[in-house]
């Protein structure tokens, strides 16, 4: 049984790759194994935990629910792509300052979801953050630090010049 | 501009302020927020690593008749298949402290006893192919009837899991302390309560991961895994694998995605995957998937407790009888049956009563084996104890707070030895309670409740108290050792940890630990401690965590479990600093030609006490020691590395009366919840939640707060949302996250937290434990609050989780 | 938890997709959002030989108005529905329902066609489709078929569709401005699949209910409107008492089962609570469509 592969072209964090990929390979596995981008974590592989969340063409989606070859031609941003020119994204700074992480396993997906959430709601209330972030499970923080981080990042992100915004 | 967040700490300690006790951004965050963590799945430590997939039992209880894997092995890319027959000669059962333990191997050999039990392991070039092969293994089973309910499993008619034992009761111990029978005979009131705790897992977000490498040339095992300690499990593994201890090397990466006790019991899989490597002749990697995790990992025990409490008319509790039955699942997975012994020293909680009967039973059922789970059976303990205290208050018509006030230990009673052997060093429990009541404005709260009740609302107030045991005694399990067991001759004790600090030729400080943390911030706190000692910035210190038993200093107790870092490792770190400072002072005294007594270490320099001008930087000293050692006197050894071991002295072996101080340190906590049951939807709204703690000295308040919130969430999860459900055949109904519903940010609650810091007298830094306490108090406080809300209807709910559906049935029943 | 092997086809146009589907028959599965399909593939509960990915076909993702209808392409995302101004203006209930699905990350990918074709009895969008009196268009090499919402769903994960058909379009009649509506779900955890979903559409003229549509999902194996209760409402003057009665009667048409999330009795009770609330909301909402 020969593994069935397709050739694909994908841009990840600004770098273009042409790769031959098994058809059945999940996007999350492809990024981790074929591109060595292990910042994207896998917590459930059935769409519930949110750990694998990353941006495909500007939308934060579950990379465990997408086959890599479906991202042929896509522009992908993973956690490794948040830092631009040596400058951390305000979400990264806020997570550290507000103790938004403990073990850090949910953190990459959590930050991606948070950045995406703020795109739709740049100035949220605490309750809105709690509801808007409910697609990502964290088992360590009790969510308090996460909610604080998102609230703290919101005005900082609004202030960012458009060109330095990730999306 | 590059913003390096680590160089702008939230708070910069001034000269007379210390790093310890301050809030600063964590060192580990630097890599974690960039996605540069180093987790088990990210590791590729060896070439030619193959991948394992595990075939698991679909039956709760069945005999294995035949396994045929010929088709599986034919798939290109499949290297080997490991089955029970292969391991017969390779492993011994895991050593267990129990009377009738059955034999526990890393995989099923003749019989399967729970859904999810490993039956075969495929080793293939990648995970996808390994799973393809699983589909082609044919196992013939003869299904047997299963038993999943604790009280049924004990009965005569129950099917036996381990026939050779003749019973499903793995161990039972009945011990009386004080004059229990007398206390009950003379009591004015005796209240009884049956309380049920659900099976629940703290479920770390990162699953188990193992890379096993069997080194056949040396009959040795090298294992990478996200194990969290205690390294006493090293002994369990070495025994099972039949290797001498120094031929078993366990390595844990710097980053582990949560543990909560669950990763203590990864070792059966560490052994299994190493056996797979032995069979396949290549290193083998296995990353547990979430379904495997929910059916085959560890969970806490489900428990039924029958409580009896004797009291005088005035509310003085005079005696307590615990009849505890824990379902430990299909096998005893060490450190089980620790679940019934772990709180030995604090079975009387924060109370004064001296007469206690412990009737403790661990029962085998056709469920996944259990293991420590945040709070290791103390959530269960306080849920039962605090429910019963409330029932007593209710029966005597005394306010639950007043009743507790009457019974809690007074400051003058410290240091206090509990009837079961626990040693509480210091504390002012009434002051903590008062602090909470003040914050909550308890009197006002009662009035408010009265008003709300008048409006017909189901409002309840619940309180719970807990003495939180931390830094477990390696010897507590000896209370369960069978009478004729050889271990009686070799008692165990201690709660120890090691730390190594090296200063390099450039003055750079590296701390090496073997504590295998999973998010508790060990790197940060270690750096805080060292920074204070050497007068430098914590951000200049490199801390290596994770573990490597082959190259680092470690102890049998090492690891990140039992809330022990601040009470053990922190002290070892401090001692290692002191060791180095002594040496550096010696060198400085030689070079500066003065006595060491006249020297101090300030701001990264060794300074003369009387003449501040006379100083030498640590960097310079380190340079001399490394580059120019021959100028130093002979009695000063080369190098600048110091390893220290710290052990809490108070944790001794079990005494001749069968008592044991099961933990090194005991914190105290009080929670109070105000809840409302929605009259239409029966959903529970937590209107207010207060906590007050005495955890001793807080080494980093931000981390402490994080631990309290995290512990709360696990308590909330098991009280209201999560349960591992099995049907009567042992089928698990909560095998995905669609069914095992974890609370999200939307369900989380806000806490109002107070602290009283009474430094521990047992540790140089004065710290105690904090990581598990909220998981212990939340189930009890919420259950009490709900029952207070139900009080006007004369109904109670004593089993978890408390779901809207259950509240609905109870209240509807009450209406009838 | 990794998928078994399959071939993936990525047609650029509907014709190619249809002939591929026809050719591969029951060995092929369509994939659009993948939010229901991929979890089952990862768990190997589904092991299709081929997947036909519709995501590259232009012209299946749209929301447009034609006469008195809103037409929605089969590969239109839940998030498109939730944010569409046309839907907000002409059938806001659908946007509300879409917004109740899971989480943003799910809604970016999940499609209306996928959700309806999947026919999960606990799904959100079928409730909206039934309440709004929508139609479903399916296409195969043999041509186009059109189903009323009532004819489309057969039961748990089964619909009127043949294996070689693609759900290409959903049609929703424009809801008159004078109507009132409500959509709500009951979940154990925020964003979880609903235990219960209720949709209501109501029109009132001269203080009398002239049109009522009520759908309850998540309880019965087949999500249906409760026509008897709708009829009971028609011709009556809206009042709390009426809504209470109607909600209680709704329960007679429900056959809940107990499971790990809730008992049958609780579910039934909640049907009463939710239907009553939904009717009240719809009534209070009267005249607010498009505002
Ligand atoms: C975490 C999570 C939470 C969720 N919560 C909810 C919720 O609260 N409410 C809810 O309703 N749903 C929920 N869902 C499911 C979600 O709505 C799915 O998006 C939807 O059910 C399927 O749409 P899809 O486009 O993703 O379809 P796919 O997953 O791609 O396909 C589903 C099925 O439909 C078939 N199919 C897909 N498109 C077509 C088409 N155009 N024509 C014919 N057949 C087709 C496929 O072959 C497959 O059998 C949730 C999913 C997840 C992962
Ligand atoms: S790993 Fe993708 S959602 Fe959990
Ligand atoms: S920080 Fe550990 S899961 Fe969120």
- Contact between residue A108 and residue A52 where contact means Cβ atoms under 8 Å apart: no
- Please determine, for residue C276, whether its predicted confidence score (pLDDT) is greater than 70: yes
**pLDDT at residue C288, rounded to an integer:** 79
Nearest alpha carbon, ligand 3 atom 4: A138
Dihedral of the CA atoms B184, B185, B190, B192 (nearest 10)? 60
**pLDDT at residue A48, rounded to an integer:** 98
Q: What sections of B160-259 are H helices per DSSP? A: 180-185, 232-241
Interface check for A41 against chain B (CB to CB < 8 A): the answer is: yes
**pLDDT at residue B12, rounded to an integer:** 52
Judge if the beta carbon of residue C76 lies within 6 A of ligand 1. no
**Class of residue C248 by CB neighbours under 10 A (exposed 0-12, middle 13-18, buried 19+):** middle
Interface check for B723 against chain A (CB to CB < 8 A): the answer is: no
Interface check for C188 against chain B (CB to CB < 8 A): the answer is: yes
- Fold classification of B379-475+659-815 is Aldehyde Oxidoreductase; domain 4 (3.30.365)
Q: CB within 8 A of B593, min separation 6: which ones?
A: none
- Contact between residue B730 and residue B367 where contact means Cβ atoms under 8 Å apart: yes
Interface check for B536 against chain A (CB to CB < 8 A): the answer is: no
Phi, then psi, of B308 in degrees rounded to 5: -135, 135
Best of A61, A63, A114 to mutate (most C CBs within 10 Å, chain C): A61
Alpha carbon B569 to its chain centroid, in Å, reads 16
Phi, then psi, of B82 in degrees rounded to 5: -105, 130
- Please determine, for residue B770, whether its predicted confidence score (pLDDT) is greater than 90: yes
Best of B805, B809, B810, B815 to mutate (most C CBs within 10 Å, chain C): B805
Size of interface A-C (CB pairs under 8 A): 85
Residues of A in contact with C109 (CB under 8 A): 61-62, 65-66
**pLDDT at residue B612, rounded to an integer:** 86
Reading chain A (167 residues) residue by residue, the pLDDT tens digits are 579 999 999 999 999 999 999 999 999 999 999 999 999 999 999 999 999 999 999 999 999 999 999 999 999 999 999 999 999 999 999 999 999 999 999 999 999 999 999 999 999 999 999 999 999 999 999 999 999 999 999 999 998 866 556 66
Peptide bond into B335 cis (omega under 30): yes
Q: Nearest CA to B234 among B218, B251, B219, B217?
A: B251
- Ligand 3 center–CA B39 separation, angstroms: 13
Six-digit token pair at B521?
């911030």
Q: For B640-657, what is the mean pLDDT?
A: 95
Residues of B in contact with C270 (CB under 8 A): 681
Six-digit token pair at B26?
């964590």
Residue B637 or residue B497, greater confidence: B497
Q: Which ligand is nearest to the CA of C82?
A: 1
Q: For C199-228, what is the mean pLDDT?
A: 96
Interface check for C266 against chain B (CB to CB < 8 A): the answer is: yes
Peptide bond into C173 cis (omega under 30): no
Peptide bond into B718 cis (omega under 30): no
What gap in Å lies between CA B103 and CA B96, rounded to an integer?
9
- Please determine, for residue B1, whether its predicted confidence score (pLDDT) is greater than 70: no
Q: For B271-285, what is the mean pLDDT?
A: 98
Interface check for B741 against chain C (CB to CB < 8 A): the answer is: yes
User: pLDDT band for position B7 (50/70/90)?
Assistant: very low
What gap in Å lies between CA B204 and CA B199, rounded to an integer?
16
- Please determine, for residue C250, whether its predicted confidence score (pLDDT) is greater than 60: yes
**pLDDT at residue B481, rounded to an integer:** 82
Interface check for B737 against chain C (CB to CB < 8 A): the answer is: no
SS3 at position B583? helix
Q: What is the CATH superfamily name and number for domain B41-144+207-256+262-296?
A: Aldehyde oxidase/xanthine dehydrogenase, a/b hammerhead (3.90.1170.50)
User: Are A66 and C109 in contact (CB < 8 Å)?
Assistant: yes
Q: Hey, which of A99, A104, A148 would you mutate to test ligand 3's pocket, going by the most ligand atoms within 8 Å of its Cβ? A: A104
Interface check for A1 against chain B (CB to CB < 8 A): the answer is: yes
Q: How far is A135 from chain B (nearest CA, A)?
A: 7
Best of C103, C108, C185, C187 to mutate (most A CBs within 10 Å, chain A): C103
Residues of B in contact with C262 (CB under 8 A): 803-805
- Ligand 1 center–CA C261 separation, angstroms: 22
Q: Does domain A5-80 have CATH number 3.10.20.30?
A: yes
Q: What is the CATH superfamily name and number for domain A90-160?
A: [2Fe-2S]-binding domain (1.10.150.120)
pLDDT above 90 covers a percentage of chain C that reads 97
Residue in B with minimal Cα distance to C270: B681
Q: Do domains B41-144+207-256+262-296 and B379-475+659-815 have the same CATH topology?
A: no
Residue in C with minimal Cα distance to B133: C4
Six-digit token pair at B121?
């392991």
**Class of residue C120 by CB neighbours under 10 A (exposed 0-12, middle 13-18, buried 19+):** middle
Q: Nearest CA to B228 among B702, B633, B565?
A: B565
The shortest CB-CB distance from B808 to any of C189, C261, C266 is to: C266
Cα angle B400, B401, B403 (rounded to 5 degrees) comes to 65
H or E element that contains B255: none
Q: Nearest CA to B667 among B387, B465, B525?
A: B465
Rg of chain C over Cα atoms, rounded to whole angstroms, equals 19
- Ligand 2 center–CA A45 separation, angstroms: 5
**pLDDT at residue B8, rounded to an integer:** 41
Report domain extents, chain B: 41-144+207-256+262-296, 379-475+659-815, 496-556+569-647
- Please determine, for residue B14, whether its predicted confidence score (pLDDT) is greater than 70: no
The shortest CB-CB distance from C35 to any of A23, A26, A47 is to: A47
User: Are C266 and B742 in contact (CB < 8 Å)?
Assistant: no
**pLDDT at residue B485, rounded to an integer:** 56
What gap in Å lies between CA B239 and CA B235, rounded to an integer?
6
User: Are C263 and B805 in contact (CB < 8 Å)?
Assistant: yes
Q: Is the ipTM of this complex over 0.85?
A: yes
**pLDDT at residue B10, rounded to an integer:** 45
Best of A102, A126, A129 to mutate (most B CBs within 10 Å, chain B): A102
Six-digit token pair at C158?
């089964």
SS (H, E, C) chain C: CCCCCCEEECCCCHHHHHHHHHHHHHHEEEECCCCCHHHHHHCCCCCCCEEEECCCCCCCCCEEEECCEEEEECCCEHHHHHHCHHHHHHCHHHHHHHHCCCCHHHHHHCEHHHHHHHCCCCCCHHHHHHHCCCEEEEEECCEEEEEEHHHHEEECCEECCCCCCEEEEEEEECCCCCCEEEEEEECCCCCCCCCEEEEEEEEEECCEEEEEEEEEECCCCCCEECHHHHHHHCCCCCCHHHHHHHHHHHHHHCCCCCCCCCCHHHHHHHHHHHHHHHHHHHHHHCCCCCC
**pLDDT at residue B370, rounded to an integer:** 98
**pLDDT at residue B6, rounded to an integer:** 37
- Please determine, for residue B9, whether its predicted confidence score (pLDDT) is greater than 50: no
- Please determine, for residue B15, whether its predicted confidence score (pLDDT) is greater than 80: no
What gap in Å lies between CA A42 and CA A63, rounded to an integer?
9
- Contact between residue C141 and residue C149 where contact means Cβ atoms under 8 Å apart: no
Beta-bridged to residue B364, according to DSSP, are B329
Report domain extents, chain A: 5-80, 90-160
Interface check for B746 against chain C (CB to CB < 8 A): the answer is: yes
End-to-end CA distance of chain B: 71
Residue in C with minimal Cα distance to A44: C1
**pLDDT at residue A160, rounded to an integer:** 85
* pTM tops 0.90, yes or no: yes
Taking the CA of residue C46 as reference, the ligand 1 atom at the shortest distance is: 49
Q: Nearest CA to A40 among B437, C54, B41, B154?
A: B41
Q: For B140-144, what is the mean pLDDT?
A: 98
- Please determine, for residue B384, whether its predicted confidence score (pLDDT) is greater than 70: yes
Query: Chains that contact A by 3+ CB pairs under 8 Å?
Result: B, C
Backbone torsion region of residue C184, taken as left when φ is above 0, otherwise alpha when ψ lies between -120 and 50, otherwise beta = beta
- Contact between residue B776 and residue B378 where contact means Cβ atoms under 8 Å apart: yes
Residues of C in contact with B289 (CB under 8 A): 1
What gap in Å lies between CA C232 and CA C228, rounded to an integer?
6
- Please determine, for residue C21, whether its predicted confidence score (pLDDT) is greater than 90: yes
How does pLDDT run across B705-721, given as a tens digit for each residue? Answer: 999 999 999 999 999 99
How does pLDDT run across B190-222, given as a tens digit for each residue? Answer: 999 999 999 999 999 999 999 999 999 999 999
User: pLDDT band for position B655 (50/70/90)?
Assistant: very high
**pLDDT at residue C290, rounded to an integer:** 72
Query: B5-19, B224-238, B775-789, C9-23 — which is least confidently predicted?
Result: B5-19
**pLDDT at residue B491, rounded to an integer:** 87
H or E element that contains B227: none
Chain-wide mean pLDDT for chain C? 96
User: Are A113 and C42 in contact (CB < 8 Å)?
Assistant: no
- Contact between residue B60 and residue B731 where contact means Cβ atoms under 8 Å apart: yes
Q: How far is A156 from chain C (nearest CA, A)?
A: 22
- Helix, strand, coil shares of chain A, percent, nearest 5, are 40, 20, 40
Interface check for B812 against chain C (CB to CB < 8 A): the answer is: yes
Matching residue, tokens 């960039």: B34
Q: How far is C58 from chain A (nearest CA, A)?
A: 15
DSSP B457: -
How does pLDDT run across C135-165, given as a tens digit for each residue? Answer: 999 999 999 999 999 999 999 999 999 999 9
Which CATH number is B496-556+569-647's, of 2.130.10.10, 3.40.50.10860, 3.90.79.10, 3.30.365.10?
3.30.365.10
Dihedral of the CA atoms B18, B23, B28, B29 (nearest 10)? -150
Q: Nearest CA to B705 among A99, A59, C175, C119?
A: A99
Q: What sections of B513-633 are H helices per DSSP? A: 522-534, 569-592, 618-627
User: pLDDT band for position B489 (50/70/90)?
Assistant: low
Q: Which ligand is nearest to the CA of C138?
A: 1
Query: A135-149, B228-242, B300-314, B605-619 — which is least confidently predicted?
Result: B605-619
What gap in Å lies between CA B570 and CA B769, rounded to an integer?
12
Six-digit token pair at C281?
């909301």
User: pLDDT band for position C196 (50/70/90)?
Assistant: very high
- Ligand 2 center–CA C6 separation, angstroms: 21
């Amino acid at each position: 049984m020969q593994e069935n592969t397709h050739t694909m072209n994908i841009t990840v964090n600004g770098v273009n790759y042409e790769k031959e990929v098994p058809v059945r390979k999940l996007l999350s596995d492809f990024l981790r194994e074929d591109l060595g981008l292990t910042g994207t974590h896998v917590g459930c592989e059935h769409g519930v935990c949110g750990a694998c969340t990353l941006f495909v063409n500007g939308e934060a989606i579950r990379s465990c629910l997408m086959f890599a070859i479906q991202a042929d031609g896509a522009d992908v941003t993973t956690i490794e792509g948040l830092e631009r020119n040596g400058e951390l994204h305000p979400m990264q700074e806020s997570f550290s300052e507000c103790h938004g992480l403990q073990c850090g396993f949910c953190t990459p997906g959590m930050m991606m979801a948070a950045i995406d959430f703020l795109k739709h709601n740049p100035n949220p209330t605490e309750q809105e953050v709690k509801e808007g972030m409910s697609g990502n499970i964290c088992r360590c923080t009790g969510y308090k630090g996460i909610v604080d981080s998102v609230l703290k990042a919101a005005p900082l992100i609004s202030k960012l010049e458009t060109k330095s915004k990730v999306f | 501009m590059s913003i390096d967040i680590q160089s702008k700490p939230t708070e910069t300690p001034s000269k007379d302020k210390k790093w310890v006790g301050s809030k600063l951004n964590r060192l580990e965050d630097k890599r974690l927020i960039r996605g540069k963590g180093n987790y088990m799945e990210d590791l590729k430590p060896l070439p030619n690593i193959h991948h394992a997939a595990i075939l698991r039992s679909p039956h709760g209880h069945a005999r294995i008749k035949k396994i045929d894997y010929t088709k599986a092995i034919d798939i290109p890319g499949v290297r080997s298949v490991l089955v029970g027959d292969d391991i017969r000669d390779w492993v011994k059962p895991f050593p267990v402290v129990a009377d009738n333990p059955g034999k526990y191997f890393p995989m099923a050999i003749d019989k399967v006893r729970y859904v999810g039990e490993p039956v075969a392991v495929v080793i293939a070039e990648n995970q996808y192919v390994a799973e393809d092969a699983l589909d082609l293994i044919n196992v013939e089973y003869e299904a047997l009837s299963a038993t999943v309910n604790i009280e049924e499993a004990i009965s005569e008619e129950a099917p036996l899991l381990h026939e050779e034992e003749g019973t499903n009761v793995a161990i039972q111990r009945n011990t009386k302390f004080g004059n229990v029978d007398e206390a009950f005979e003379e009591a004015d009131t005796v209240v009884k309560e049956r309380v049920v705790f659900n099976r629940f897992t703290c479920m770390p977000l990162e699953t188990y991961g193992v890379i096993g490498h069997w080194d056949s040339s040396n009959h040795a095992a090298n294992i990478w895994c996200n194990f969290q300690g205690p390294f006493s499990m090293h002994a369990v593994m070495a025994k099972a694998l039949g290797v001498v201890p120094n031929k078993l090397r366990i390595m844990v990466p710097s980053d582990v995605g949560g543990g909560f006790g669950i990763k203590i019991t990864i070792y059966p899989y560490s052994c299994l995957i190493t056996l797979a490597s032995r069979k396949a002749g290549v290193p083998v990697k296995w990353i547990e998937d979430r379904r495997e995790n929910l059916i085959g990992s560890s969970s806490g025990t489900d428990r039924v407790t029958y409580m009896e409490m004797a009291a005088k008319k005035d509310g003085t509790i005079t005696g307590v009888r615990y009849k505890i039955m824990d379902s430990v699942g299909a096998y005893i997975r060490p450190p089980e049956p620790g679940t019934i012994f772990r709180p030995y020293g604090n079975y009387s909680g924060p109370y004064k009563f001296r007469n206690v009967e412990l009737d403790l039973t661990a029962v085998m059922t056709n469920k996944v084996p259990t293991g420590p789970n945040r709070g290791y059976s103390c959530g269960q303990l306080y849920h039962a104890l605090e429910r019963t205290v409330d029932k007593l208050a209710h029966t005597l018509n005394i306010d639950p707070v007043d009743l507790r006030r009457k019974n809690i230990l007074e400051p003058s009673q410290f240091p206090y030895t509990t009837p079961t052997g626990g040693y509480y060093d210091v504390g002012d429990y009434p002051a903590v309670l008062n602090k909470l009541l003040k914050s909550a404005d308890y009197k006002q709260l009662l009035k408010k409740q009265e008003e709300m009740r008048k409006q017909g609302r189901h409002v309840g107030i619940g309180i719970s108290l807990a003495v939180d045991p931390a830094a477990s005694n390696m010897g507590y399990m000896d209370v369960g050792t069978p009478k004729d067991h050889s271990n009686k001759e070799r008692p165990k004790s201690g709660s120890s940890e090691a730390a190594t600090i090296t200063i390099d030729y450039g003055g750079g400080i590296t701390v090496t630990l073997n504590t295998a943390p999973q998010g508790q911030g060990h790197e940060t706190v270690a750096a805080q401690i060292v920074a204070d000692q050497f007068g430098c910035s914590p951000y200049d210190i490199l801390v290596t965590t994770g573990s490597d038993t082959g190259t680092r200093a470690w102890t049998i107790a090492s690891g990140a479990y039992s809330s022990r870092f601040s009470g053990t490792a922190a002290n070892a770190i401090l001692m290692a600093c002191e060791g180095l400072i002594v040496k550096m002072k010696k060198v400085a005294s030689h070079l500066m030609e003065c006595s060491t007594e006249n020297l101090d270490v300030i701001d990264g320099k060794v300074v003369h006490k009387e003449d501040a001008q006379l100083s030498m930087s640590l960097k310079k000293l380190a340079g001399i020691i490394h580059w120019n050692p021959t100028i130093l006197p002979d009695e000063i050894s080369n190098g600048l590395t110091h390893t220290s071991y710290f052990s809490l002295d108070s944790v001794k072996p079990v005494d001749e009366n069968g008592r044991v101080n099961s933990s090194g340190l005991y914190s105290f906590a009080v929670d109070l919840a105000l809840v409302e049951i929605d009259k239409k939807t029966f959903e529970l709204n937590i209107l207010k939640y207060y906590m007050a703690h005495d955890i001793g000295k807080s080494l980093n308040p931000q981390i402490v707060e994080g631990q309290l919130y995290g512990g709360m969430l696990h308590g909330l999860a098991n009280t209201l949302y999560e349960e591992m459900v099995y049907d009567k055949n042992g089928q698990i109904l909560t095998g995905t996250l669609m069914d095992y519903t974890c609370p999200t940010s939307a369900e989380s609650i806000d806490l109002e937290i107070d602290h009283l810091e009474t430094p521990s007298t047992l540790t140089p830094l004065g710290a105690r434990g904090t990581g598990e306490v909220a998981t212990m108090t939340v189930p009890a406080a919420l259950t009490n609050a709900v029952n207070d809300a139900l009080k006007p209807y004369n109904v109670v709910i004593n089993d978890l989780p408390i779901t809207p559906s259950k509240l609905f049935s109870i209240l509807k029943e009450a209406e009838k | 938890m990794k998928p078994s092997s399959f071939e993936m086809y990525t047609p650029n146009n509907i014709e190619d997709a249809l002939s591929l589907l026809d050719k591969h028959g029951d060995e092929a599965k369509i994939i659009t959002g993948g939010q229901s399909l991929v979890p089952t593939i990862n768990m190997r509960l589904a092991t299709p030989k081929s997947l036909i990915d519709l995501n590259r076909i232009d012209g299946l993702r749209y929301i447009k108005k034609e006469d008195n209808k809103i037409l929605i392409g089969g590969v239109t995302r839940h998030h498109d529905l939730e944010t569409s101004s046309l839907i907000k203006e002409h059938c806001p209930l659908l946007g509300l329902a879409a917004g109740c699905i899971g989480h943003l990350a799910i809604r970016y990918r999940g499609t209306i066609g996928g959700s309806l074709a999947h026919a999960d009895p606990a799904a959100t969008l079928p409730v909206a489709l039934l309440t709004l009196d929508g139609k479903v268009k399916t296409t195969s090499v043999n041509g186009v078929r059109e189903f009323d919402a009532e004819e489309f769903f057969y039961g748990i994960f089964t619909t009127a569709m043949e294996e070689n058909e693609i759900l290409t379009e959903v049609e929703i009649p424009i809801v008159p401005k004078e109507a009132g509506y409500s959509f709500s779900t009951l979940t154990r955890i925020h964003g979880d699949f609903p235990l219960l979903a209720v949709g209501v559409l109501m029109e009132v003229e001269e203080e009398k209910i002239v049109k009522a549509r009520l759908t309850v999902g998540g309880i019965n194996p087949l999500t249906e409107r409760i026509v008897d209760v709708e009829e009971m409402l028609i011709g009556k003057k809206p009042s709390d008492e009426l809504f209470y009665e109607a909600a209680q009667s709704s329960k007679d048409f429900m056959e809940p089962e107990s499971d790990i999330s809730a008992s049958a009795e609780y579910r039934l009770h909640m049907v009463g609570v939710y239907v009553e609330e939904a009717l009240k909301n719809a009534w209070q909402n009267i005249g607010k469509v498009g505002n």
